[in-house]
Structures are given as C-alpha cells and as structure tokens.
Amino acid sequence: MRTLQIAVWGVAALLLVGACNAGPETVAKVEYDQLMQEYEDLKASAESTRSEYAAQSVAIDNILQQLAQISGRTVVLRSDLESGTVQLTQVQQIEDSIEDIKGKLRQLDALSAKNTELRKMVLSLKKVIEEKEVEIAELKAEIRAKDLTINLQQDTINTQSSTIRNQIATISAQQEDIRAALQEQARMLFQAGQDFEQLGDNAPEVSRRKDKAKVQAFADEMYEKALFYYKQAAESGYPQAAGRMAEVEEKRSR
C-alpha cells in the first residue's frame, strides 16, 4: 500500500513538472490546481503513513523491551521461590507489566487490519503474553501455597509457645504456692518453738527445797522441744530461729 502511494506520488510529481514545462497555454488552470491538490494530498498521506509506521515500530520495540524485563523478573521470582524469600509484590509487578503490554497490543490490534505483517506480529506477541500469564499464574499459586504452609507452621509454633508460656506460668504459680506454704510451715514451727520456750520459762514456781529438781526437769524438757522446733524452722528458711536456739541453749545451761 505504501509503495503504491509513493509511486502515485511520483507520477503526480512528473505530471506536475510536465504541466509546468508545457506552459499555461497547454494546461488549463483547473487541471493545474487539481494536480497540485492531488500532489499535496499524496504527500500528506505519505507523511502520515511514515509517522504511523514509526509509531508502530516504537510501540513494538517498547513491548519487546518489557517482555525482556518480564523474563528477567520471572527468573528472579523462581530463584526467590526456591530460597523462600519470594514476595507477592514481585508477582504484582510482573502482572502490571503484562497488563500494560496488553493495552498496547489492543491499540496495535486496531491498526493491524491494514497491515498483514503488523497483524502477524500482534498475534505472535499476544500468544507470548498468554503463555507468560499462565506461567505467572502457576508461580503465584505456588507462592500462595508456600505462604499457607508457612502460616500454618507459624500458627502451630504460636500455639505451642502459648502452651509453654501457660505451663511456665502454672509452674511458677505452683512454685510460689510451695514457697508460701514452706514459709508458713517455717513460721508455724518457729511459733511452736516459742510456745515451748515460754512453757519452760514459766515452769510452776514450787518449793525449791522439795520440787526444784522437778521444775528444772520440766523446764529442760520444754527447752528441748523448743530447740527441736527452732531447728526445724531454721532448716525451713526461718532466719529468726537460729537466734532463738542460742538463747534457749543458754537457758538450759543455767
């Protein structure tokens, strides 16, 4: 089509030149103007066709560059998928590029009806894009499957961690209860020691000539019991018990 237009343009130019050389007496003014108009129309048509082809060439070149970028990103995507570092944003970038190419192909599709070669190119690029969409969709499905597995594993870890924390809290509470019980037991042992010590201190006052030995024996027996409970309290972690034991020992030696 373009070749035919150029040929017609050339013929029109020759006719115009011939008409100019023949002189105004051989070519009517109307015919001259008509030839000039046809020449201008053909010239404008040729310029438009050339601009159109140039724009189509630029569009196809851009599409091919984008396809090359998509291929590179796909390689990186597969590598990251294997290493476990892939992100869905990488897929989104590729999908955005594919949608951009599809838009450009739709624009070229409208022009390809007038150009067989362009039509073939558009159909070929469409097939490449369709294959790339299938590939990306499969990779996206793999990524989501891996993400799901990771999420399930994380949920399991979180559940186990929560269980462990609860067990630790329960054990801590039980240990605290045990410590409190031991402290209470130590206090009660200490109190028992004090009670027996007081019994020894308050042994009945009787006649020293007749019953002094019995009074001392009773007091010593109470002090012995007091020492026993003070010792138990000290071993249970009651600090005051050691001091009382020393006091009671002095009382026994009197």
Phi and psi torsions of 24, nearest 5°: -65, -20
Question: Do 88 and 38 reside in the same domain of the chain?
Answer: yes
pLDDT band for 174, please (50, 70, 90 cuts): confident
Tokens of 196: 């027996």
Q: How far apart are CA 102 and CA 53, in angstroms?
A: 19
Phi and psi torsions of 52, nearest 5°: -65, -45
**Average pLDDT of the residues of the chain:** 79
Q: How far apart are CA 169 and CA 65, in angstroms?
A: 61
Question: Do 132 and 172 reside in the same domain of the chain?
Answer: no
Question: Do 34 and 137 reside in the same domain of the chain?
Answer: yes
Q: How far apart are CA 71 and CA 77, in angstroms?
A: 10
Contact 97, 136 (CB under 8 A): no
Question: Do 179 and 139 reside in the same domain of the chain?
Answer: no
pLDDT band for 45, please (50, 70, 90 cuts): low
Residue 157 lies in a domain: no
With 70 as the cut, is the pLDDT of residue 7 above it?
no
- Domain span at residue 108 reads 2-143
Q: How far is CA 61 from CA 57, 104, 129, in A?
A: 6, 11, 15
Residue 156 lies in a domain: no
- Mean predicted confidence (pLDDT) in 34-55: 61
Residue 158 lies in a domain: no
